Amino acid sequence: METLESLFERLDRLNDVGASLSAERDLDRLLEKILLAAMSITHADGGTLYTMSDDARFLRFRIVRTNSLRIAYGGGGGQDLPPNFRDLPLYDEAGRPNDHMIAPWSAVSGQTVNIEDAYAATDFDFSGTMRFDQATGYRSRSFLSVPMRDHEGAVIGVLQLINATDPAGAGVHAFSKADQSLAESLASQAAVALTNRALISQLEQLFEAFIKLIDTAIDEKSPYTGGHCERVPELTMMLAEAAHEAHQGPLADFRLTDKDRYELRIAALLHDCGKITTPVHVVDKSTKLETIYDRIGLVATRMAVVKREAEAAAWHAIAEGEPRDATLAELQRGQARMDDDLAFLRDVNRGGERLPDEAVQRIQAIALGYTWTDETGREQPFLSEEEVENLSIRAGTLTAAERDVINHHIVSTIHMLEQLPWPKHLLNVPEYAGGHHERMDGRGYPKGLRREQMSVQARMMGIADIFEALTAADRPYKPPMPLSQALEIMENFKRIGHIDPDLYDVFVAGHVPQRYARRFLAPEQCDC
């Protein structure tokens, strides 16, 4: 007979298990803890934990343990369940409850079933158990099957224990009333833990689905940012794992928990959410004169008007007595110059190579070198001041004002994220997501933070954001860079204080660029 001291000891262990279950986030490890705790408290040699299928018509094997046979299937530390461990039906084809198997009956009835000796039992079919015993040499005797109910009273699984053993070595015996009471108490705590884990998981899935909804909205708004929103989180997490694995250098002590990883991934997914407020014509500006459409067409039309006006003026001069051949030759030379100037403007409009001073001077000369007559009959300069400003952009396709509009997305991102009531484990999301345009030398935006004012995670995202942009193949204003060119630029950024040098060294040493390239870049980009 169990002593009072032994019972109190088991109750203490039950309380300790309850605290442990509430802290576990991983579902498989949680299920494993539940079964191992039940086996330990009741001194059971074996056990199985089943969970209810979504349609509540089957019990599914999740964890199987038999200590004496060294069987460990499922959970965090076990092998994969063999294919012969099939779902147990709760009802037959006619809808009648499965009352010949102990675990399904416990689930359907919601009652605990305590069997002293399976070989002597007549209420349930233990033929499968007997076949298992025959194949393994095991002797399954006592069974305790306990339903696990959630807070609404619905059965969400079954905890089944096999062969209660005597710690003193007196062999296998029936599960006592104390065993049953403790197992039922544990099953109740386990059901609460499982329900809480399921609710948290559902909320996390809903939250991540909402984040992906935002990314999809950005993607639908502009195909040039949707891929970025998808790839930066992957690259960020690759760099984070490389830093986590570093055992030498300045980042030797940097380590990530599962909570840290989740927080960083959420921040990476949301790092550009402010782009939902950025005007499409700025985000998608693929040429210097593009707004809602590319205005180079207007320039070409205007040049055609200038050519026709020149032609009309030439024929008018000939009619007034000017030499025909000389006048037409001059017209031809002038129109050839116009064609050359238009071809130059078309090329400049693409925003490829960096624009030199002489090109800017030529744009200004073209702007004033021709005039055309508008629909009111007034003479106008060939290019407006705004067109000259756009065509004179030194690099890329954006004016300083448009860059400010683009850069404002990070301000919007920070503002949007800081308005959310983040739970404790996600409090750093706004800081991580909002720091990816800062520079280590304090010359970034929007806050002008220096390296020491930023978290390691925010600095990681800065590297990921830049590298993805350099190698992306879906930008309208540039071709995708090969790895060698992108890494050369990143090396320069490291040297001038743009990105974190320690993280970049880990980035390179961990072969993150090559691993990223194999997943996301075209084969011709993978040149190193």
Q: What percent of the chain has pLDDT over 90?
A: 58
pLDDT band at 418 (very low <50, low <70, confident <90, very high): very high
Assigned token pair, 212: 């992906």
Separation of alpha carbons 282 and 179, rounded Å: 70
pLDDT at residue 1 tops 60:
no
Separation of alpha carbons 212 and 218, rounded Å: 10
pLDDT band at 199 (very low <50, low <70, confident <90, very high): confident
- Phi and psi at residue 408, in whole multiples of 5°? -65, -15
pLDDT at residue 69 tops 90:
yes
Assigned token pair, 231: 């790839």
Separation of alpha carbons 398 and 382, rounded Å: 22
Closest CA to 290 of 173, 397, 166, 414: 397
Q: What is the pLDDT of residues 473-496, one digit of tens each?
A: 877 667 788 999 999 999 999 999
Q: Is 19 helix (H, G, I), strand (E, B) or coil?
A: helix
Q: What is the pLDDT of residues 266-303, one digit of tens each?
A: 999 999 888 888 887 777 787 888 887 888 999 999 99
Assigned token pair, 359: 């090109």
Separation of alpha carbons 514 and 206, rounded Å: 33
pLDDT score for 280:
75
Q: Mean pLDDT over residues 387-402, rounded?
A: 87
Q: How many CA atoms lie within 13 A of 347 on its CB side?
A: 13
Q: What percent of the chain has pLDDT over 70?
A: 93
pLDDT at residue 426 tops 90:
yes
Average pLDDT in the chain? 88
Contact 159, 38 (CB under 8 A): yes
Assigned token pair, 259: 């909570």
Q: What is the pLDDT of residues 364-387, one digit of tens each?
A: 999 999 988 888 888 889 999 999
Q: Which of 26-30, 253-257, 295-299, 512-516 has the lowest mean pLDDT?
A: 26-30
**Domains recognised in the chain with CATH numbers:** 4-200 (3.30.450.40), 222-278+401-525 (1.10.3210.10), 296-397 (no CATH)
Block residue for tokens 């000389």: 326
pLDDT at residue 12 tops 70:
no
Block residue for tokens 């409850």: 97
What is the Rg, in whole angstroms, of the alpha carbon atoms belonging to the chain? 36
pLDDT score for 516:
96
Separation of alpha carbons 266 and 430, rounded Å: 10
Report cis status (omega within 30 of 0) of the bond before 250.
Answer: no
pLDDT band at 173 (very low <50, low <70, confident <90, very high): very high
Block residue for tokens 């960083």: 264
Which residues face 47 on adjacent strands?
Answer: 65, 161
pLDDT score for 403:
82
- What is the H or E stretch that residue 75 is in? none
* N-terminal to C-terminal alpha carbon distance within the chain: 73
pLDDT at residue 23 tops 70:
no
Assigned token pair, 224: 């040039």
Q: What is the pLDDT of residues 84-137, one digit of tens each?
A: 888 999 998 888 999 899 999 999 999 999 999 999 998 899 998 999 999 999
